[in-house]
Structure 1
């Protein structure tokens, strides 16, 4: 069956490899799935047909012994990415499977994957038992030992004794972190024993679908870095994240020991409107409807609890919970909530205004900022009602209208950490700033190139524009930033972007058997490569900013260039497009003004120093296990934060709301007080952001220079009409 490209859901999301999720079960028992289901065997065959067919995959690969060995390697790396469970002897015993993975996938007989996982489960149990036994002794932190935490490129441990040595140092580091945070030995033992016990219990909660998805993604990632398999449940979660909406009660949940705790209440959602639930409440039972039986969910996986709470709009769910202010043995309370469609506003576009004071003869200016975390779109909502659906472009358009009403002088689009999303949104968002024209070129596997254009006349913002990017800006972010740069429509500021230049399509595996219910899941499949209108690709190279900030993450550590099977960089012919401006003549002046300003900007200097320190520490890939050395480092960091806070007060700068709460507490996310941790998380966005402010200042510089220097303005902005008239 041929994929209909015209109706395909095109996605450009940043999909980074993640390790197998480990979750806990209350009784600590082991319920290991031993074989795939019939549906999984069918799914394996369907995925094989999809990835080996050039009608679907952009770069299909034959499923032969060579690819089988690659799949084998990736599966081991996913299970044990830091080489802390398997020994070299284990891996040697797995050797016969190297050339059997292809046969397993084609036939749907996935026994090799389950056999390897059985050994993995056993090794985790052994390691946890060893770690817990170590807690009975005391540790000497006066020597020169160090814990080398990055073992990705290390060889497999030769034997169990070598693993014992590695784990002892890991446990020592866990202990030392808690000791430096002020914990006493008995509390440290209790915390770590529970932590390691939870790791052991977690294996018991893994389901067949978890193992199956992990193994199939070892296959998909061998094809290319951004092809992924989703089970029906994970596909549903992915699509909800893209639409920024779901049907439920509007509460963010977190697992803590054997309980599911409310971490956040979505404003305006059913849980919020009930007036009863709050952050920190612990859910112990869930019932359907007003009178359905309550099911005890203590010890359940969090995704299973979520599945019980979510449901169709206008249906009811009953929750039994222990209020946050009472102890674990407190009185249980019940609430009945009517489910509704909940908008996940936290990930939606947001705006703010930066006021820049008059300086050096330049007037005060107001720069509008739009922070866009993702290129989201409610695809199903758009199909139902094309005039009313959740969309990044629609949200940004409304914010730009408000900026025009507020009479801001320029706009910065902040795409830092925006890993991508919908291709349509990238095109339509670009259309808010250009008056029709090509935005991106898409080349399919057969070589056909399609030019995707903004076809709507007019713009939402025709004034000064800048785009702020970093290494985490990928895919759709790179399409948008690259188009703005190619059109000369605005300045691109920040770090070189991720370098992902491929297009993915969500393929529903249930479409072929035409299942009424989801059984086989979906594949996010690479179907094309995109190119800028100027002809170059962002693949590997990313978008290079016009004005560069210090590099916070090395390209060898993060980005498309770190994938061993990523597509190479290439280029195709450019397509005609309007050149609104040419900022090259202006850049030396802007660089000089930028350098002069940041030399006196304490916040920017501190950020630069922190980046340099972080990169130096990360390059070591180890930490000392000497208490005196670690305590001296900790005291130095605490003193530095206090001094900076004092200088902020002296200089009249905004205080850092987290300055007194940044010391390492030695705890994991599930071990902290949920109420305090959630409140702390809310303060992150209120911390000083010197990069954003400097981006606004650079944009203001450009406005000022072009207003004052008519000759320069004529070089930079030769067009007499159209978007982007920066000078009066």
Structure 2
């Protein structure tokens, strides 16, 4: 009997294991054609043997170490499911409504259980559905292009919704074909507006969809697993990421700045390689011709190499096309986020050197009641090792100027860096006091600052920030504002108030959020960033760039403030300073030109529908050019300059850059030391503050 019982247990064990195998992802779920035709070359993906174990490792790390204590339950499962669908089909043009309903019924409340068990059936079923639908679309598009783009109607009164984030999914394959016909028509119009002929357009679009089809047919299990894990980690917060071994290598290269390329951070969004950040000192930032949210649609090598269309191409392959030997040339065709005319940007690849990110000083010379007054300007692109030492030297050099009335510290576009340097920098302008609080996932709070023997500069100080001032920049600006040590000017900062760390996995690594930054006042810099005392019109739309624009960003909150000495002298004078600022900029031609161009650019980016009539689009483009030219010539006449003869002359000048480009970098062909309108106004506000202090003291003495 014992032998029989043992035999039955063995048989039961084998049967159980076999049953598990039958339920495993090795037997992929079938995906129906759904009226879209046969997807040639489609092969359903199945997970690699080790991916279930990696899944469990990631879940364990997040559950134990992430700042945000998330419960894996049905509510999280639904959030994760929606994030995964969004990750794959953000413009709602690939899946069909039946696909969404089928997948939702099966998995919307099952993903939490699969994560805990290391199962990936849902990951691959959803991805395989996406892959098959995408192949069907590309096959359809290639057939449609083969009929000739002249068969597309770009003369009717149709319009196309370019913002489909909340649009319904196509009900069936026929409705999807209608949507993609409009997509094709819009792509044709964009290329025609860029002066490409019919043959070149057909060649470019054929290449675009062929490349994408090739990528889809070469998709590997790691691609599906990475997309699934991206959606999972981003459901915690936008800065938590899973790096596969290949992505880990790229991340380490970028962190060490050993990349010889254009100096830009990219992300994949809706099939496009989109610029996220320009690295200070890199070719992209120096050019002054690129900005965050620009989309790269094609890459050409050298001065005359043929363009390779990269729409739909895997991001890592697009990056490989952009990288290259130092000194070599790469050409990028750029589609701006405001859907204005496509442009070509030529860059010379280079290695980013520390000197290109180093602090630099200038003198802003102002006429004040008939007398010249000097204000020091220190521009700091990033917090690198040695920042505080360099800034200290610059401040000491500025102090030698007997006519120095104050200092403006420009932290615009400074994405952060070494936290220790930020603490030391704050200590250059203040006594030894706390500068930031850091709270970890367990609620423990650490207070950091700079131990010093007193500031090296205690005179009038202004700090400039904008939407791309992040992390360490926000800590410095927030601390100087909280103490009443400096007036903060510009735009609301990014709102990156979290701390990440890298954790190794058996394969790859995970970057997860472990702590949050808090100001000495107890308020977090997370999500809301730092609000300036006086706001300048922002070229960058905060609804598109910034922490608050990212899904699942951790919320703003506050903790107990630390003890700190506070001066309310600046706060008491804010009414006077704001009135002076408003009255002055009303008559400042440079400032108003910048404001008017920002207003015009915002009008374009806020449009969510575009005409599918070529002549109407040409007329809109011509009208936009005319408006830009009129603004420029009004500005030139007000500043005593000859007006531009035509738009081409305007476009070729530094004034032809967009407001975003002007805010983000140097103007090509312009003096790199040119003081911009916002820096000049910041210096004037600082002088207003100095004069107001003097009046207050004189009134008190009287």
Shared fold, TM over 0.5 = yes
Name the residue aligned to 2:194. Answer: 181
Q: Residue 541 and residue 305 in structure 1: after superposition, are their counterparts in 2 closer, same or farther (change >3 A)?
A: closer
Structure 1 runs not aligned, ≥5 long: 1-28, 256-262, 269-277, 285-298, 310-318, 326-340, 377-389, 511-518, 664-677, 716-728
1:301 aligns with 2:317: yes
Counterpart of 2:10? none
Distance in 1 (CA, whole Å) between partners of 2:328 and 2:439 is 55
1:369 corresponds to 2:378: yes
Among 440, 463, 467, which residue is 1:467 paired with? 463
Counterpart of 1:280?
302
Shift of 1:472: 3.1
1:525 is matched with 512
* 267 and 485 in structure 1: CA distance in 2 versus 1, 3 angstrom threshold: closer
- Partners of 1:539 and 1:300 lie apart in 2 by 30
Q: For residue 450 of structure 2, what is the aligned residue in structure 1?
A: 454
| 1:51–1:694 CA distance, 2 compared to 1 (3 A) | same
Q: State the Cα distance separating 1:652 from its structure 2 match.
A: 4.6
1:83 aligns with 2:92: yes
Aligned to 1:359: 368
The Cα offsets for residues 497-536 of structure 1, whole Å up to 9 and x where unpaired, read as 23343332x13224xxxxxxxx533322222232211122
Q: Quick check: 1:392–1:425 contact (8 Å CA) kept in 2?
A: yes
**Counterpart position of 2:476:** 480
Tell me whether 1:59 sits opposite 2:50 in the alignment: no
- Quote the offset at 1:59 in angstroms: 1.8
Distance, in Å, in 2 between the alignment partners of 1:124 and 1:693 is 52
Q: Distance in 2 between matches of 1:129 and 1:30?
A: 11
1:549-569 Cα offsets, whole Å, 9 max, x none, are 235556555544445644443
Are the counterparts in 1 of residues 58 and 510 from structure 2 also a CA contact under 8 Å?
Answer: yes
Residue 105 of structure 2 is aligned to residue 114 of structure 1: no
Taking structure 1 as reference, are residues 116 and 421 closer, same or farther at Cα in structure 2, changes over 3 Å only?
Answer: farther
Choose the corresponding residue for 2:181, options 146, 168, 171.
168
Correspondence 1:496-507 to 2 at 5 A:
496-504=492-500, 506-507=501-502
CA contact (8 A) 1:147 1:173 kept: yes
Root-mean-square deviation (CA, aligned residues, Å) is: 4.3
Worse overlay, 443-452 or 392-401? 392-401
Query: What's the secondary structure of 1:451's corresponding residue?
Result: strand
Q: How does 1:319-718 map to 2 (within 5 A)?
A: 343-345=352-354, 348-372=357-381, 374-376=382-384, 390-404=385-399, 409-504=405-500, 506-510=501-505, 520-552=507-539, 556-562=543-549, 565-579=552-566, 582-647=569-634, 649-650=636-637, 651-652=639-640, 659-660=650-651, 689-707=676-694, 710-711=697-698
Distance 1:559 1:162 in 2: 35
The structural deviation recorded for 1:587 is: 1.8
Instruction: Kindly provide the CA deviation profile for residues 321-367 of structure 1, in whole angstroms up to 9, marking residues without a partner as x.
Output: 99999xxxxxxxxxxxxxxx965448724425253331334533243
C-alpha separation between the residues in 2 aligned to 1:199 and 1:684? 43
State which drifts further: 457-466 or 678-687.
678-687
The residue aligned with 1:50 is 61
How far 1:580 moved relative to its partner?
A: 5.3
* CA distance 1:422–1:87, change in 2 (3 Å): farther
Say whether the 8 Å CA contact 1:242–1:421 is kept in structure 2.
no
Q: Label 1:154 to 1:424 Cα distance change in 2 as closer, same or farther (>3 A).
A: farther
Which moves more between the two structures, 204-213 or 582-591? 204-213
Question: What residue in structure 2 maps to residue 381 of structure 1?
Answer: none
Residue 191 of structure 1 and its aligned partner are, at CA, apart by 2.6
Q: Which whole-Å deviations, capped at 9, do the CAs of 1:363-398 have from their partners, x for residues lacking one? A: 3324313132x445xxxxxxxxxxxxx354445445
| Distance change (3 Å), C-alpha of 1:231 and 1:455 | farther
**Match of residue 129 from structure 1:** 139
Which residue of structure 1 aligns with residue 52 of structure 2? 41
- 1:645 to 1:617, Cα distance in 2 relative to 1, 3 A: closer
* Residues 1:320 and 1:709: Cα distance change in structure 2 (over 3 Å): closer
Deviations 1:570-602 (A, max 9, x none): 322222223356301222222122112211222
Give the 3 Å change call, closer, same or farther, for CA 597–205 of structure 1 in structure 2.
Answer: farther
Superposition deviation, residue 153 in structure 1:
1.3
Paired residues of 1:488 and 1:580 also in contact (CA < 8 A): yes
Q: Are the counterparts in 1 of residues 302 and 328 from structure 2 also a CA contact under 8 Å?
A: no
The SS at the match of 1:99 is coil
Instruction: Give the distance between the partners of 1:713 and 1:619, measured in 2 at CA.
Output: 51
Aligned CA distance change for structure 1 residues 539 and 630 (closer, same or farther; 3 Å): same
Distance in 2 (alpha carbons) for counterparts of 1:714 and 1:616: 52
Aligned length: 591
Distance 1:129 1:31, change over 3 A: closer
User: Which of 156, 166, 172 is the equivalent residue of 1:153?
Assistant: 166
Matches of 2:490 and 2:537 in 1, distance apart? 8
CA distance in 2, matches of 1:529, 1:224: 12
2:17 aligns to what? none
Give a deviation string over 1:534-553, Cα, whole Å, max 9, x none. 12223343322111123555
Structure with more relative contact order (C-alpha pairs < 8 Å, separation 6 or more): 1
SS at match of 2:247: helix
- Residues 662, 521 of structure 1: alpha-carbon distance in 2 compared, 3 angstrom cutoff: farther
Tell me the SS of whatever aligns to 1:224: coil
Aligned counterparts of 1:584 and 1:321: Cα–Cα separation in 2: 51
SS in 1 for 2:175: helix
Are the counterparts in 1 of residues 373 and 405 from structure 2 also a CA contact under 8 Å?
no
Distance 1:283 1:647, change over 3 A: closer
* Greater alpha carbon shift after TM alignment, 41-50 vs 623-632: 623-632
Q: CA separation in 2, counterparts of 1:475 and 1:530? A: 9
Further displaced range: 221-230 or 406-415: 406-415
TM-score normalised by L of structure 1 = 0.70
**1:706, 1:712 within 8 Å by CA — same for their partners in 2?**
no
1:65 & 1:619 partners in 2: Cα distance? 36
1:38 deviation in Å?
Answer: 4.5
* Structure 1 residues 455 and 661: CA distance shift in structure 2, 3 A: same
Q: Which secondary structure state, in structure 1, belongs to the residue aligned with residue 368 of structure 2?
A: coil
* Residues 422 and 475 in structure 2, CA contact (< 8 A), matched pair in contact too: yes
Q: Is the 8 A contact 1:493 1:549 kept in 2?
A: yes
Distance 1:40 1:347, change over 3 A: farther
Q: Distance in 2 between matches of 1:323 and 1:397?
A: 37
C-alpha distance in structure 2 between counterparts of 1:393 and 1:658, whole Å: 43
